[in-house]
Structure 1
């Protein structure tokens, strides 16, 4: 057992180190929200430096896509179907050959299928805890003010209601444990509240509807939308957060949640599409004037805006079903994208328009493209409305956008190309690296305008999570075996003699004279040792304590 103990000690050290690294990966990678004060070290406590953290910190995840029973094979059905089919079609065949084929089918579809089913079930459970590990680690270590999931919460829009409820339960009880649904009282009507006063926002999960949740425009029904709303919250709503300022008037942050699944046509349900259009028009109507730079806007939706091929992994793509409705799309159409960019954010590119056509400060965050993308949507400058018909929205990688901000201008005071940043989140699924995005928003003290910055953090592929936990379980198993073996071994040994300690004072030794058997029993046959008085032959008698010879008569 000595070699097993050595293996156990090695595994124990490896388990401790790997487990600690796994649950502190965000600290090791220096994952943190961008700060308005880059000169202040990120680890500075907020009570020491209040400006070391942005007032708005959004922890964003994309496309967890929880799978369920549709991905697990029916072993009973699949194992016996081939065998029954062979037996049914084998009346005129060799029965031995038929039997061998049936046994082969049962082994292939039954035994191997059962093992595959068990592996798939374990994989689903492990995937839930892997996603939960990402959420809980970043929630604990980065201190967000808000949390959102950008659509495709579940893996299929075609599942029945029972399976939908089962996956929704896993979503809330396992993946985003302790997270809560945004209450209807908040989403029914546009509301305003002071940012930071309601601490419950840290536990609320802002859920965005995705195609795997409610379907594309061609298969979005009232029933699918209703069950999503019951489980995860409203698909269209907005809220305004007031941010107090020490410099005077407060700033405002507008958070918009938009269902983009039926913005494009043709749609299956025209009434549902009309409701989405009304929500979008209300959002545009309630927008502040573009000159009001104290208002920032964050748009959360699922489908990315239109962009030309080559900018991101997904190129523009639409497909239609047999009924002519949209069956699948990678981006929004150019028309829908333009409605958002020019309507919600007020970007015109016209130098004679309010605030030189630059539009409102803001950022767009979405999902859908699992590879992720970070782009800058921009408009060329125009000097009059007559040139508006010839302008086209373009997009480029965000890291190249600094070249556009200093492109050719019409007037000297127009320093920037009008545009806005769109961040498409890389999926948090294990095969894509378990990504999360940290979005910060604050008012810049120099420009007195809102500024938004984004950082991202990866937990690594799911195999790392599996390897660490298998290592921990193996170590625990070996440790338990050694512990039980030690207990069983100690119980089988004889009881050891117990010595009673004596006083420190030395006890004199006593020599004991042996007592012979004949002294106890004269009739004993045991021989008596010789005595020095034997030569008197019994003629001695005791008198006055001295022996004398007996006289013969």
Structure 2
């Protein structure tokens, strides 16, 4: 093989296989004792001559600076020296440490990949309502309720659990640190759900008209109980969780003003108009906040109300008068009417409705509040509707929801009071349905048939449930005979229009809102209510918008953190000196090496001046 003789080691290089790079010769910094072979694409190899001719039998190539390759590759290049002549690789001739250089070369493609993943996943996490097409059923409705349930904020009882008291101290400390980090992340996970649905996406959709316009700013927000994880914690821990609730989970929100609720447990129209409702939380008391009927004490009620607001109150949302037509009294034709629709919102402490209760006086406060509601002189022409907000779901038969009917009581030693329940008792449920939605108060014949009289929103059952209560015919024994009577029944909401509920039956929808905890997918409900002038009655619709489990939130932010760390490392490493000193290129010959039919052609030499 013959070549033009140039002062270059590259003319003695035979690339193996199908490697056809452009080769340049560079002079390393003085003291490295060898030539530097630079390949097209940013690969370099150091060649150091031995004491006897001519050169190493093999050299290792490593990636330098910007490389198009996704991984570090070590390539062996065979020199065209005398067959059988031993060669040696002098690692001191490498222009920089091979390991660090290869690691650095990996950073760029890895950083590009992670950056792409990070941008896509972060955008998906923070824009998930748009990707899932989440929307209020009627985005233009004058009443839009952001409906959340059961955040169950944990605290130091889960960090310093006595369950692990016998574990080695190192394991206890590691678990404590892990749980502390978990609680911190959970607070921000819940915050993410609230802020995204309440503020971020509505602000984007109002600013950019090309985005889906279904998720507008809510007019009201409710949390349907179990704000914290235990009613048994001491006052200091209760205050700590309350601070996290207001400052971290629901920032920039307010509780009801101190004197907003009067002695009759009402918010007057004058007071209602002074409250900025979009940023005021309606907090419902849950069993993990104050306990069940057999647990509730005056001090538990007092600390809840001082932190989160009253456990019982009601207010009316006013709306302007509307004109429409209704069937004429004689059934012939229609008649024009003007009505002033209104929406009654009830926050009810249902935890001490059922007996036996520990504190009779506290139970009577709830009953007095209910009796005052039952005595309101409401109009029953369909212009007034009720939104009942409470924690414990109403009664329904086994199999309709995940949680079936269940009541447990303390032992007689503790008074046999109510310890736990999944639903309200059937009697309590029938009372609320009949009184609040008209049937027991004014009689079935005076309740508008085929019109929605309201909606019930509850928590407690973390899995969630969507059902319909209707007043239907039932056979009951009267001695030896069976007789037909009306009673409240319950069935799945999706089956309402399959003949389950008659067209002229009185009915009301109950949505048990799925928990916003990560274990249950970070769910949120979107409730719309509006007065339909076509039917001259209220309409209620409900939809959901889950963010996904907390593991998704954690994964996205961990990937973001790793990406930022690698980006900083990639930017800083060249200035640390660990990759070796910079090199200055000199005037070198340019050699083009090609291969054909398995043999090396003579390289053509082209002068290159830098």
- Say yes or no: TM over 0.5: yes
1:269 and 2:343 equivalent? Answer: no
Q: Provide the secondary structure at the position in 2 that maps to 1:391.
A: strand
Partner in structure 2 of residue 160 of structure 1: 234
- Higher helix proportion: 1
Question: Residue in 2 aligned with 1:416?
Answer: 504
Q: Partner of 1:437 in structure 2?
A: 525
Instruction: Give 1:216's match in structure 2, choosing from 268, 287, 292.
Output: 292
Deviations 1:155-179 (A, max 9, x none): 0000000000001111001001111
Find the counterpart in structure 1 of residue 599 from structure 2: none
CA shift, 1:237, in A, is: 0.4
Q: Shift of the alpha carbon at 1:488? A: 2.8
Alignment pair present for 1:69 and 2:164: no
Q: Tell me how far apart the structure 2 counterparts of residues 109 and 375 of structure 1 sit (CA, whole Å).
A: 50
Higher mean C-alpha deviation, range 393-402 or range 109-118? 109-118
1:374 maps to what in 2?
Answer: 466
**Richer in strand (by share):** 2
SS at match of 1:455: strand
Q: What's the counterpart of residue 374 of structure 2?
A: 284
Taking structure 1 as reference, are residues 274 and 30 closer, same or farther at Cα in structure 2, changes over 3 Å only? Answer: same
| Aligned partners of 2:145 and 2:527 also within 8 Å | yes
1:359 and 1:273 mapped to 2: Cα distance? 33
Check whether the contact 1:349–1:379 (CA below 8 A) recurs between aligned residues. Answer: no
Whether 2:254 is the aligned partner of 1:180: answer yes
Query: How many Å separate the matches in 1 of 2:348 and 2:497?
Result: 29
8 A contact 2:225–2:459 mirrored in 1? yes
Are 2:133 and 1:30 aligned?
yes
1:470 equivalent in alignment to 2:571: no
Q: 1:5-42 CA distances to partner (integer Å, 9 max, x unpaired)?
A: 2211211111111101100001111111111xxxxxxx
Partner of 1:97: none
CA distance in 1, matches of 2:398, 2:409: 20
Alignment of 1:399-548 (within 5 A): 399-404=494-499, 407=502, 415-489=503-577
Partner of 2:427: 335
CA distance in 1, matches of 2:161, 2:456: 42
- Quote the Cα distance in structure 1 between the aligned partners of 2:311 and 2:574: 60
The number of residues matched between the two structures is 442
Q: Distance in 2 between matches of 1:372 and 1:494?
A: 64
Alpha-carbon distance, 1:264 to partner? 0.3
Greater C-alpha radius of gyration: 1
- Flag the 1:358–1:274 CA change in 2: closer, same or farther, 3 A: farther
Q: Secondary structure at the match of 2:342?
A: strand
Shift of 1:353: 2.7
In 2: Cα distance, 1:432 partner to 1:406 partner = 30
Alpha-carbon separation, structure 2, partners of 1:404 and 1:186: 45
1:16 equivalent to 2:119? Answer: yes
Displacement, 1:112?
1.9
Taking the TM superposition and a 5 Å limit, the aligned residue runs for 1:138-153 are 138-140=197-199, 141=201, 142=215, 143-153=217-227
Shift of 1:195: 12
Find the counterpart in structure 1 of residue 168 from structure 2: 109
Q: Is the 8 A contact 2:224 2:284 kept in 1?
A: yes
Q: CA deviation at 1:190?
A: 2.2
Alpha-carbon RMSD across the aligned residues, in angstroms, is 2.8
Q: CA deviation at 1:416?
A: 2.0
Q: Deviations over 1:429-470 (max 9, x none)?
A: 000000000000000121110110001111001110010000
Tell whether 2:337 aligns with 1:253: no
Residue 425 (structure 1) shift: 0.5
Deviations 1:253-287 (A, max 9, x none): 11011000100000000000000000000111115
1:398 corresponds to: 493
* d(CA) in 2 for partners of 1:319, 1:349: 32
Normalized against structure 1, the TM-score is what?
A: 0.75
Aligned pair 1:239/2:334, yes or no? Answer: no
- Higher mean alpha-carbon deviation, 299-308 vs 115-124, is at 115-124
Distance verdict in 2 for CA 1:353–1:447, change over 3 Å: same
Who is 1:308 aligned against? 397
Gaps of 5+ in 1: 36-51, 83-107, 408-414, 497-553
Q: Contact 1:346–1:360 at 8 Å: present in 2 too?
A: no
Cα separation, 1, equivalents of 2:239 and 2:453: 39
